[in-house]
């Protein structure tokens, strides 16, 4: 299939390149801005209880979130868009749990058997002998046993289902779930297969942060959308190629809406932000240059709020941010990305009593000492161009997916990973199961390393920014630099993966299995 062609599906007309050309892409700047309210994803509702897989005498909440096709409008003046997603919404329903609360989630695949986005059969795991439509769900940031982690090769096709066991034995944090099927992950996520997952705990409760209607989930994604409302995914101009190395759409959606507005009262609000885009990094600021207090990152709260006027967020990362509108009654502010408005915030005129607070201390975060590491691994991030009729590939430590596993940390031990980025891209590197701390970044001589096999640092080590000093699961590996992370390998023994969270890279070899072995 070629980009822009629609597969036959209920409610959509089949398209044929021989009969018509695809409509042009919409230009967001030509649409009337801020006419649709920001939607809030629905909360997932449990459908009953079932016995715990580990404690058969205990009944635990059971959720069923079918994955199917639906249509919804991204903007008042744009025809309805076909999406694939969870529970009939994009993003999918938010799953909210308490720390230590076990749940079971069934993910039935009720999708059509033909994909409506272009599959490249030369990509690993997407060969012609595989079903076009398949899925497996990964809980990003979740501390889960390997059989419930969403291993990319554990996909299942339309008409089948999987039930995953989430124990939620971790700190309060904003996680997210998304498709992780080998070779077509970028297409499935772009089609709409993602949603939020919130873990809460007693410590977070005690801080009296904004909650209820003053806690706003914000899932940011970018898309290419045609004038007929349908998603577009480009194909390569290389001979025989389909895969493209990155995807950047000019239609930035917030909770599935293009250019929405949000009504707030003059009080504090907590924004739980996810970058769910395939490859775009966002640089978020308020049009009045007002302050934002970042209170958390991927794996939960920071030790103290960090005051910022600009927020940078890479694919897969999450930000927890408090904005105080108390002194902005009656004002209209625009949330911007690189100075381009993406959401309007309308502050009410009537002052209200704000019951929330913003403590100066949030939680203790013990620093993992380098002396705790039993091993240091130097792992390269590589870009390799292949023969003309094949796409380039992005590799981790020079290895492809199917090569033997080379990273086998022992359960309960701590390691330092040195991510040596030889490319021109910043790669957001995600490790499944575990949480990590950023140690530092340091520039090195890339040509000398690549062509002379000599390793030479060219700068002093730069410590992480204040808003990176908490627990994370996705780290930005800067180009031409060594990014050092320290990782306690706690949780469960078994096979997991680590990969770049630019989904086009991940789908084309920039993903490797690793195995936690019993000590």
- CA dist 51 and 60 (Å) reads 6
Segment 332-339 long-range contacts (CB within 8 Å, at least 24 positions apart): 333/286, 333/287, 333/288, 333/290, 334/286, 334/287, 335/284, 335/285, 335/286, 335/287, 336/284, 336/285, 336/286, 336/287, 337/252, 337/282, 337/283, 337/284, 338/282, 338/283, 339/285
Count CB-CB contacts under 10 A for residue 309: 12
Q: Which two tokens stand for residue 138?
A: 């990964």
Helix (H, G, I), strand (E, B) or coil at 217: strand
**pLDDT at position 392:** 77
Same domain, 196 and 228: no
Same domain, 393 and 285: no
- CA dist 502 and 427 (Å) reads 7
**pLDDT at position 386:** 65
Same domain, 62 and 199: yes
Domain annotation covers residue 306: yes
Task: Give the residue numbers spanning the domain of 273.
Answer: 212-347
User: Do 319 and 342 touch, CB atoms closer than 8 A?
Assistant: no
**pLDDT at position 21:** 75
* Dihedral sign, Cα of residue 179, residue 185, residue 188, residue 194: positive
> Comparing C-alpha atoms, which of 392, 413, 405 is closest to residue 151?
405
Same domain, 125 and 242: no
Transcribe 287-309 into DSSP letters.
Answer: TT---EEEEEETTEEEEEEEEES
**pLDDT at position 10:** 32
User: Do 172 and 148 touch, CB atoms closer than 8 A?
Assistant: no
Q: How many domains does the chain have?
A: 3
Same domain, 108 and 185: yes
**pLDDT at position 250:** 96
Domain annotation covers residue 19: no
**pLDDT at position 11:** 35
Domain annotation covers residue 224: yes
Same domain, 385 and 472: yes
Domain annotation covers residue 150: yes
Q: Give the global pTM.
A: 0.95
**pLDDT at position 56:** 87
Domain annotation covers residue 361: no
Same domain, 228 and 116: no
Same domain, 332 and 220: yes
| Final residue of a structural domain among 204, 227, 242 | 204
Whichever domain contains 427, its CATH number is 2.60.40.420
**pLDDT at position 15:** 35
| Final residue of a structural domain among 289, 316, 347 | 347
**pLDDT at position 46:** 96
Same domain, 463 and 503: yes
Per-residue pLDDT of the chain (519 residues; tens, 9 = 90+): 223 222 323 333 333 333 347 899 999 999 999 999 999 999 999 999 999 999 889 999 999 999 999 999 999 999 999 999 999 999 999 999 999 999 999 999 999 999 999 999 999 999 999 999 999 999 999 999 999 999 999 999 999 999 999 999 999 999 999 999 999 999 999 999 999 999 999 999 999 999 999 999 999 999 999 999 999 999 998 777 799 999 999 999 999 999 999 999 999 999 999 999 999 999 999 999 999 999 999 999 999 999 999 999 999 999 999 999 999 999 999 999 999 999 999 999 999 999 999 999 999 999 999 999 999 999 999 998 765 555 678 999 999 999 999 999 999 999 999 999 999 999 999 999 999 999 999 999 999 999 999 999 999 999 999 999 999 999 999 999 999 999 999 999 999 999 999 999 999 999 999 999 998
**pLDDT at position 85:** 98
Same domain, 381 and 465: yes
First and final C-alpha spacing in the chain: 48
């Amino acid at each position: 299939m070629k980009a822009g062609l629609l597969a036959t599906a209920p409610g959509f007309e089949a398209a044929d390149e021989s009969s018509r050309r695809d409509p042009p892409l919409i230009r967001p700047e030509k649409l009337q801005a801020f006419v649709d309210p920001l939607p809030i994803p629905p909360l997932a509702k449990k459908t009953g209880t079932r016995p715990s897989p580990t404690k058969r005498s205990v009944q635990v909440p059971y959720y069923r979130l079918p994955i199917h096709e639906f249509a919804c409008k991204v903007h008042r003046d744009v025809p309805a868009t076909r999406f694939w997603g969870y529970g009939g919404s994009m993003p999918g329903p938010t799953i909210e749990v308490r720390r230590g609360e076990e749940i079971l989630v069934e993910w039935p695949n009720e999708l059509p058997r033909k994909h409506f986005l272009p599959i490249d059969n030369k990509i690993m795991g997407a060969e012609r002998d595989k079903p076009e439509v398949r899925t497996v769900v990964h809980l990003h940031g979740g501390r889960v046993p390997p059989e419930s982690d969403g291993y990319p090769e554990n996909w299942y096709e339309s008409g089948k289902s999987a039930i995953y066991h989430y124990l939620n034995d971790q700190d309060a944090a904003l996680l997210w779930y998304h498709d992780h099927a080998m070779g077509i992950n970028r297409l499935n996520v772009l089609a709409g297969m993602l949603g939020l997952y919130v873990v809460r705990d007693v410590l977070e409760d005690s801080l009296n942060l904004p909650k209820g209607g003053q806690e706003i989930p914000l899932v940011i994604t970018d898309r290419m959308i045609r004038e007929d409302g349908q998603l577009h995914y480009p194909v390569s101009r290389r001979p025989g190629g389909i895969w493209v190395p990155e995807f950047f759409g000019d239609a930035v959606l917030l909770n599935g809406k293009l250019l929405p507005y949000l009504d707030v009262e003059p009080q504090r609000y907590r924004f739980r932000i996810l970058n769910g885009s395939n490859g775009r990094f966002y640089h978020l600021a308020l049009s009045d240059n007002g302050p934002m207090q970042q209170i958390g990152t991927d794996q939960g709260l920071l030790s103290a709020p960090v005051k910022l006027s600009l927020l940078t967020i890479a694919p897969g990362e999450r930000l927890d941010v408090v904005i105080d509108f108390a002194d902005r009654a009656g004002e209209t502010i625009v949330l911007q990305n690189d100075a381009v408005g993406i959401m309007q915030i309308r502050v009410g005129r009537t002052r209200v009593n704000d019951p929330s607070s913003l403590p100066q201390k949030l939680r203790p975060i013990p620093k993992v000492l380098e002396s705790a590491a039993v091993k240091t691994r130097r792992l390269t991030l590589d870009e390799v161009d292949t023969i003309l009729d094949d796409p380039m590939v992005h590799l981790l430590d020079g290895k492809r997916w199917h090569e033997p596993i080379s990273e086998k940390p022992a359960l309960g031990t701590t390691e330092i990973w040195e991510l040596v980025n030889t490319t021109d891209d910043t790669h957001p590197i995600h490790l499944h199961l575990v949480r990590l701390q950023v140690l530092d970044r340091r520039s090195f001589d890339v040509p000398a390393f690549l062509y002379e096999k000599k390793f030479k640092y060219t700068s002093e080590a730069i410590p992480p920014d204040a808003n990176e000093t908490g627990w994370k699961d996705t780290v930005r590996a800067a180009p031409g630099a060594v990014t050092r992370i320290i990782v306690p390998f706690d949780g469960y023994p078994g096979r997991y993966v680590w990969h770049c969270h630019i989904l086009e890279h991940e789908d084309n070899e920039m993903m490797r299995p690793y195995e936690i072995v019993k000590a």
